[in-house]
Chain A
Amino acid sequence: MADIIEMPKLSDTMTVGTLVKWLKKEGDKVATGDMLAEVETDKATMELECFFDGTLLKIFAPDGAQVEIGEPLCAVGAEGETVEAPAKKEKPAAKEDDASEEKSDDDSAEESSDEAPAPEPTPEPETSSGSSGSSAAPSVGGQRLRISPLARKLAAEKGIDLSRVKGTGTGGRIRRADILEAEKNGGPGGAYRSKGPIQEEKLTPVTNMRGTIARRLVESKTQIPHFYLDIEVDAAPLLALRSQLNSGLSEDGVKLSVNDLILKASAEALRKVPTVNCSWEGKQVRHHSRAHVSFAVAMPEGLITPVVFDAHEKSVFDISTEVRSLAKAAKTKKLQPKQFTGGTFCVSNLGMMGINTFKAIINPPNAAILAVGTTVEKPVVVNGQIVIGQRMNLTLSCDHRVVDGAVGAEFLGALKSLLENPALLLV
């Protein structure tokens, strides 16, 4: 009798997996341990392993299919055996659902539990206000505009300001022809002549990863009381040390980045100010004994935060090598869940993209996240003289339930001191 391989639970938060690509086809001989397919979870793309020896008899889920945990993916058995698609499993009873949810809630309190992808490291749009108006009925001088649904849709696509289009339909209703006219010659009402949309309007389904990022960040930003601390660091010693180390290490093919040094300095600072290396768990605060520092990696689909475990015990050289290999795995979607879960602190760096300063959203269950800006040359006063300095902005986002202002400031102070005396990172 054929064995059925079902969608495995590949991460703690996974409920559905996307069958990216079958690596074997029906009729292929397969053996235990063979890689059958690539499966995208909410976190990463992983390989589906075969647990049986035999022939891949039947594939139930085609490339691109979204399959719930426990639903059949394929059947493996003796050559020539016939298999029928197993019936869809019934959903577990509500009671069980609740129980498992409770359990995962408990789990999330554990240090080893899952980690969200890094918070989106973009400046907060805190100044934006008011409605975008896309769903509101357009009006002119308080009068509701009469417009056909099609014309409204076309105008939005073409970027035409409806309030300046004259409608020629019944009762002055704006019709498709009016929009096309407006587009053609600037419009009868002098409507804005669009240069065309940046990109055709289209709908793309939300990927598992994008969905997870969205959910976790909304949770973080709405449930964690964030506050922000800025500090300016003299980056000259750090840059000097870096170029010195790199010229010495060039033969080994290693090139340290500023970020590698910041990861190391963060781990050291966490050791000095351990309150930042904590997690809020409702009725208790978990004090982590080790500094597992994660860093944000941008991918086309979203963000992920690989972890450098025990960064406080590793050399800058080791950290650099590890970061490079983790980043590569992340970009090729080969990262294993254990490589991106369990961080206790996160560093998000947009310095290489020219961003001066920004405020990152905390990556729960971390208590803080460090946002690193670019290093700029600017006039600074040293011993009463204006000289050219190399300055870098750091912003710490803190969970006020765990980290108070003074503690955050102490951490940033320690971090600044380490970065301005970077030789300390080498001992």
Chain B
Amino acid sequence: MPEITYREAVRHALAEELERDENVVLMGEEVAQFNGAYKVSEGLLEKFGPKRIVDTPITEAGFIGTGIGASMLGIRPVMELMFWSFYSVAFDQILNNAANVRYMSGGLINCPIVIRGPANGGTNVGATHSHTPENVLANHPGVKVVVPATPADAKGLLKSAIRDNDPVFFLENTMLYGLKGEVSEDKDLLIPLGVADVKREGTDLTIVTYGRSVLHSLEAAEKLAKEEKINVEVVDLRSIRPLDIDTVLKSVAKTHRVLIVEEQKPFASVGTQLGFMIQEEAFDQLDAPIIRVTTIDAPAIYSPPVEVEQLPNVDRVYTAALQAVKS
């Protein structure tokens, strides 16, 4: 299998789906002429023309609303936000319309839209450009929230998202665009939404995580195996909603100890929900309190060296994992 970047994996998924279904369109700020702020859509305008690859003004509420309207009429729009951080400008469209339309129409109207783009911090772009909105988005019934951690998952999950009839919010971590990995060229490589992936098998501790934190967790796990003979299992959620709690519980039943790692502020986060669900379903399986590593609870910090410490990193995961196993 060829090794490609996460950015290319997203692009391949887009290109393949644009080719497969003429109702698929890509819209967003600078996606056409400029090839996307993070160069995800490079070459797509030449290949599919201006009717399929559409530049929009910097008006999130407006163009997301346009996409939602189009999706209700049979188009399958993929909307790129230059930064997921500006989803709040289109919040009314996203949550009052996209999330609710099927329910409000008694099942008559679907909203098969994908809203995607870079999210998270780490690029030193400050508090207003570093949001992690998955917990806010996942709070709403009727939507799907996907956070891929590897190039292969990015491609397989985005293709499933485009074919899904619900609104899917697809969060690409800005820091992962350059990550390389093997990705199949199969045009029907579909990874189902709502299925977690055990990225590393282990017996002593379950790390439940998603997004970029998967990489930190895997690296910390390798180090723990080598230095401490601690065998860590890493479960990558991949989808926040639907949430594959069964895979998590299966792992907890094996290791009896849980560390949650998430690139998110700790209050009412995805990890909060996970911790609750684990104690609810597997209380008797726990041999120690569930602990977690999150973003430090402050707006994203501009200073590069400080931001590294604010986000989960390998050292913080390593230390927390040791604590989880020894407590």
Contact = CB atoms under 8 A, between A and B. Distances in A.
Interface of A: 148-153, 169-170, 173, 175-176
Which of A150, A175, A176 has the most B CB atoms < 10 Å from its CB? A150
For chain B, what secondary structure do more than half of its interface residues adopt (helix, strand, loop), or is it mixed?
loop
> Which of A148, A153, A169 has the most chain B CB atoms closer than 10 A to its own CB?
A148
11 contacts: A148-B288, A149-B286, A149-B287, A150-B256, A150-B284, A150-B286, A170-B288, A173-B327, A175-B287, A176-B256, A176-B287
A153 B256 CA distance: 12
B288 A169 contact: yes
A151 B256 CA distance: 10
B284 A175 contact: no
Interface of B: 256, 283-288, 327
Contacts of B284: 149-150, 152-153
Closest 6 A-B residue pairs measured CB to CB? A150-B287, A170-B327, A148-B287, A176-B287, A153-B284, A149-B283
A175 B257 CA distance: 11
B327 A150 contact: no
A170 B285 CA distance: 18
A268 B279 CA distance: 63
Contacts of B288: 148, 169-170, 173, 175
A91 B95 CA distance: 37
A183 to B, nearest CB: 15
A211 B53 CA distance: 66
A371 B287 CA distance: 50
Contacts of A150: 256, 284-287
A148 B252 CA distance: 14
A45 B288 CA distance: 48
Contacts of A149: 283-287
A176 B256 CA distance: 9
A176 B287 CA distance: 6
A90 B256 CA distance: 44
Contact of B327 (A152, A169, A176): A169
A152 B285 CA distance: 10
B321 to A, nearest CB: 15
Contacts of B287: 148-151, 175-176
A304 B27 CA distance: 74
B173 to A, nearest CB: 33
Contacts of A176: 256, 287
B132 to A, nearest CB: 30
